[in-house]
Amino acid sequence: MITMSHYLVFSALLFCISVAGIFINRKNILLLLMSIELMLLAVNTNFIVFSHYSNDITGQVFVFFILAVAAAESAIGLAIIVSLFRIRNSLEINLINNLKG
Protein backbone atom coordinates (compact mmCIF):
# COMPACT_ATOMS: atom_id res chain seq x y z
CA MET A 1 0.00 0.00 0.00
CA ILE A 2 1.38 3.35 -0.96
CA THR A 3 0.61 5.90 1.71
CA MET A 4 1.00 9.62 1.77
CA SER A 5 4.33 9.37 3.52
CA HIS A 6 5.71 7.33 0.64
CA TYR A 7 4.85 10.13 -1.67
CA LEU A 8 6.32 12.65 0.65
CA VAL A 9 9.55 10.72 0.93
CA PHE A 10 9.57 10.37 -2.81
CA SER A 11 9.19 14.07 -3.37
CA ALA A 12 11.79 14.82 -0.75
CA LEU A 13 14.17 12.45 -2.49
CA LEU A 14 13.37 14.08 -5.79
CA PHE A 15 14.18 17.42 -4.28
CA CYS A 16 17.44 16.13 -2.91
CA ILE A 17 18.42 14.62 -6.23
CA SER A 18 17.73 17.84 -8.05
CA VAL A 19 19.68 19.87 -5.53
CA ALA A 20 22.51 17.39 -5.79
CA GLY A 21 22.31 17.85 -9.51
CA ILE A 22 22.99 21.52 -9.07
CA PHE A 23 26.17 21.19 -7.15
CA ILE A 24 27.48 17.96 -8.57
CA ASN A 25 27.18 19.17 -12.12
CA ARG A 26 30.22 21.20 -12.97
CA LYS A 27 30.09 21.17 -16.69
CA ASN A 28 27.12 22.69 -18.32
CA ILE A 29 24.79 25.40 -17.24
CA LEU A 30 21.90 23.89 -19.11
CA LEU A 31 21.94 20.98 -16.74
CA LEU A 32 21.32 23.45 -14.00
CA LEU A 33 18.10 24.51 -15.60
CA MET A 34 16.98 20.91 -15.73
CA SER A 35 17.78 20.36 -12.09
CA ILE A 36 15.85 23.45 -11.20
CA GLU A 37 12.90 22.22 -13.14
CA LEU A 38 13.12 18.92 -11.29
CA MET A 39 13.25 20.72 -8.00
CA LEU A 40 10.04 22.56 -8.71
CA LEU A 41 8.46 19.30 -9.80
CA ALA A 42 9.33 17.78 -6.48
CA VAL A 43 7.43 20.62 -4.84
CA ASN A 44 4.56 20.04 -7.20
CA THR A 45 4.40 16.41 -6.21
CA ASN A 46 4.11 17.46 -2.65
CA PHE A 47 1.26 19.83 -3.38
CA ILE A 48 -0.60 17.27 -5.39
CA VAL A 49 -0.21 14.66 -2.73
CA PHE A 50 -1.50 16.93 -0.05
CA SER A 51 -4.27 18.16 -2.30
CA HIS A 52 -5.29 14.62 -3.05
CA TYR A 53 -5.26 13.39 0.50
CA SER A 54 -7.06 16.38 1.93
CA ASN A 55 -9.61 16.49 -0.86
CA ASP A 56 -8.80 20.10 -1.49
CA ILE A 57 -8.38 21.54 -4.94
CA THR A 58 -6.22 24.53 -3.99
CA GLY A 59 -3.07 22.52 -3.95
CA GLN A 60 -3.53 21.58 -7.53
CA VAL A 61 -4.22 25.18 -8.42
CA PHE A 62 -0.97 26.04 -6.80
CA VAL A 63 0.75 23.47 -8.96
CA PHE A 64 -0.49 25.19 -12.08
CA PHE A 65 0.91 28.46 -10.93
CA ILE A 66 4.20 26.86 -10.12
CA LEU A 67 4.36 25.25 -13.53
CA ALA A 68 3.63 28.54 -15.21
CA VAL A 69 6.24 30.34 -13.21
CA ALA A 70 8.73 27.56 -13.85
CA ALA A 71 8.21 28.04 -17.55
CA ALA A 72 8.86 31.73 -17.24
CA GLU A 73 11.91 31.05 -15.19
CA SER A 74 13.27 28.67 -17.75
CA ALA A 75 12.79 31.29 -20.39
CA ILE A 76 14.66 33.90 -18.46
CA GLY A 77 17.29 31.41 -17.48
CA LEU A 78 17.86 30.52 -21.08
CA ALA A 79 18.04 34.16 -21.99
CA ILE A 80 20.71 34.73 -19.40
CA ILE A 81 22.57 31.71 -20.61
CA VAL A 82 22.44 32.97 -24.14
CA SER A 83 23.87 36.29 -23.20
CA LEU A 84 26.51 34.55 -21.15
CA PHE A 85 27.39 32.36 -24.08
CA ARG A 86 27.62 35.34 -26.37
CA ILE A 87 30.20 36.93 -24.20
CA ARG A 88 32.40 34.02 -23.48
CA ASN A 89 31.56 31.32 -25.99
CA SER A 90 31.29 28.62 -23.41
CA LEU A 91 28.76 27.24 -21.02
CA GLU A 92 31.13 25.63 -18.58
CA ILE A 93 30.31 26.44 -15.01
CA ASN A 94 33.93 25.99 -14.10
CA LEU A 95 34.76 29.17 -15.91
CA ILE A 96 32.24 31.33 -14.19
CA ASN A 97 34.14 32.61 -11.21
CA ASN A 98 35.13 36.13 -11.91
CA LEU A 99 33.10 37.27 -8.97
CA LYS A 100 34.57 35.89 -5.82
CA GLY A 101 36.16 36.76 -2.51
What residue ranges bind another protein (CB under 8 A)?
Answer: 15, 19-20, 22-26, 29, 32, 36, 39-40, 42-43, 46-47, 49-51, 53-54, 56, 58-59, 61-62, 65-66, 69, 72-73, 76-77, 79-81, 83-84, 86-88, 93-94, 96-101
Q: Which is nearer to another protein, 3 or 98 (CB)?
A: 98
- Closest separation between CB of residue 53 and another protein, Å? 8
Rounded to a whole number of angstroms, the minimum distance from the CB of residue 52 to another protein is 10
Phi-psi region of 73 (alpha: psi -120 to 50; beta: other; left: phi over 0): alpha
Contact (CB, 8 A) for 60 and 70: no
- In 3D space, the residue among 100, 96, 85 whose CA is nearest the CA of residue 25 turns out to be 96
- H-assigned helices in the chain: 4-24, 29-53, 58-88
**Rounded to the nearest whole angstrom, what is the least distance from the CB of residue 3 to another protein in the complex?**
13
